[in-house]
Amino acid sequence: MVVVLKNEATTQQINNLISWFEEQKVAVHISKGEYQTLLGLVGNTTNIDTDLIEGLEIVECVKRISDPFKNANRKFHPDDTVVDCSGVKIGGGEFAIIAGPCSVESEAQLLEIATKVNASGATLLRGGAFKPRTSPYDFQGLKAEGLELLLEAKEKTGMPIVTEIMNANHLPLFENVDVIQVGARNMQNFELLKELGKTDKPILLKRGLANTLKELLMSAEYIMAGGNEKIILCERGIRTFETYTRNTLDLSAVPMLKELTHLPIVIDPSHACGVAKLVKPMAMAAAAAGADGLMIEVHNDPPRALCDGPQSLTPEQFDDVAKRVFAIREAVKSLD
């Protein structure tokens, strides 16, 4: 951490500040410049509150040099983490496609979709039972009943299931869920993250709509600090000024996160784009960029099929996407 002092700081004030840092058990290197004096803090600075220091009258600014995340940091854990989702592995070269409907609607719906996406290469089944909706008047999901349907589909198809949690009080209902998803709007619901840190379930943690990668990693750190290291990061589009697409898929998050962390990274092109036609090219691009997995919405809902074209992919479209994704992975691998 580097603390830049203002020119008008008196020696007395500087000495007071240095003493205070030393009490916090960090060593201080002073670098007096013609225009500016810098204090370089060396040692364990993770517990020093940057905002507090920046608020001091004699401080111009504070630059944190080392990353504030530890457990998630590749520097201290160079090997890729491989998350085992009830037998399906993600990370460290293991690639998986998670597919299924946005909302669980019925047993027949789930089974049909599950069987088809599995045949096309998906190995994890997703489906929403508890749905976060911006409006209190929108459909909130089948809730506990939806979870039941997912568990039945799991039993019948053998596919491990991924579904979203919105409230730590619901954890007992998730006992047989294989991967628990934390949605974008709950990425900084720290109370929920702490509770998930006490479980031993794989957690699929989605990046918030306007959150940085550092904030995503700090949220992973909340879960890991509780002892649960089975985290799959998920980029699902961020808010930008663009309006043709619902969000902007930040694909560079894949190689950037691979530098920063050992945790696996999965891409959700369906939510990012909000347009079925973009799912195929972006899924292919994600594979080329080195993602550890994909999460894709697939639907066969007749009311939606009304006009022959729901936003989610049909199982047939998904099959085409999956083929191309696997082909690109082969092409990439053959060059390594």
Question: Amino acid identity of 44?
Answer: N
DSSP label at residue 32: E
Question: Residue 100 CB: number of other CB atoms within 10 A?
Answer: 30
318 conformational bin, left if phi > 0, alpha if psi -120 to 50, beta if neither:
alpha
Query: Would you say 115 or 326 has its CB closer to a copy of itself?
Result: 326
Burial class (CB in 10 A: 0-12, 13-18, 19+), 11: exposed
Residue 116 Cβ vs a copy of itself, minimum distance, rounded to whole Å? 19
Reduced to 3 states, what is the DSSP secondary structure of residue 39? strand
**Under rule CB under 8 A, residue 255 binds a copy of itself:** yes
DSSP 220-236: HHHHHHTT---EEEEE-
Interface pattern 50-89 for a copy of itself (x via CB under 8 A): -xx-xxxxxxxx-x-xx-xx-----x--------------
Single residue of 106, 190, 227, 316 touching a copy of itself by CB under 8 A: 190
Residue 157 Cβ vs a copy of itself, minimum distance, rounded to whole Å? 26
Contact window for a copy of itself (CB under 8 A) among 78-86, 107-115, 149-157, 220-228: 220-228
Q: Would you state the structure tokens that stand for residue 155, as one six-digit string?
A: 């039993």
Residue 63 Cβ vs a copy of itself, minimum distance, rounded to whole Å? 5
**Under rule CB under 8 A, residue 243 binds a copy of itself:** yes
**Under rule CB under 8 A, residue 222 binds a copy of itself:** yes
Single residue of 111, 151, 171, 275 touching a copy of itself by CB under 8 A: 275
φ, ψ at 251 (rounded to 5°): -70, -25
Query: Would you say 85 or 129 has its CB closer to a copy of itself?
Result: 129
In angstroms, what CA-CA distances link 317 with 125, 163, 208? 17, 23, 28
Token look-up 């001091």 returns 56
Question: Amino acid identity of 326?
Answer: F
CA proximity to 237, closest of 278, 212, 273, 263: 273
**Under rule CB under 8 A, residue 278 binds a copy of itself:** yes
Q: Would you state the structure tokens that stand for residue 33, as one six-digit string?
A: 């410049």
Single residue of 11, 79, 302, 334 touching a copy of itself by CB under 8 A: 334
Residue 257 Cβ vs a copy of itself, minimum distance, rounded to whole Å? 9
**Under rule CB under 8 A, residue 316 binds a copy of itself:** no
Residue 29 Cβ vs a copy of itself, minimum distance, rounded to whole Å? 4
Task: For residues 8 and 57, give the distance between their C-alpha atoms in angstroms, rounded to a whole number.
Answer: 10
Single residue of 96, 254, 295, 322 touching a copy of itself by CB under 8 A: 254
**Interaction with a copy of itself in 105-124: which residues (CB under 8 A)?**
none
Single residue of 11, 78, 172, 241 touching a copy of itself by CB under 8 A: 241
Single residue of 34, 78, 79, 172 touching a copy of itself by CB under 8 A: 34
CA proximity to 225, closest of 250, 190, 260, 257: 190
Task: For residues 201 and 65, give the distance between their C-alpha atoms in angstroms, rounded to a whole number.
Answer: 33
Residue 132 Cβ vs a copy of itself, minimum distance, rounded to whole Å? 6
Residue 180 Cβ vs a copy of itself, minimum distance, rounded to whole Å? 15
Note whether 297 and 312 are within 8 A (CB): yes
Give the length of the chain.
336
**Interaction with a copy of itself in 163-182: which residues (CB under 8 A)?**
166-169
Query: Would you say 173 or 273 has its CB closer to a copy of itself?
Result: 273
Residue 181, CB-side half-sphere exposure with 13 Å CA sphere: 27
Residue 162 Cβ vs a copy of itself, minimum distance, rounded to whole Å? 20
Task: For residues 306 and 156, give the distance between their C-alpha atoms in angstroms, rounded to a whole number.
Answer: 29
**Interaction with a copy of itself in 285-314: which residues (CB under 8 A)?**
285-290, 303-304, 306-312
**Interaction with a copy of itself in 122-151: which residues (CB under 8 A)?**
132-139
Q: Would you state the structure tokens that stand for residue 173, as one six-digit string?
A: 């209902």
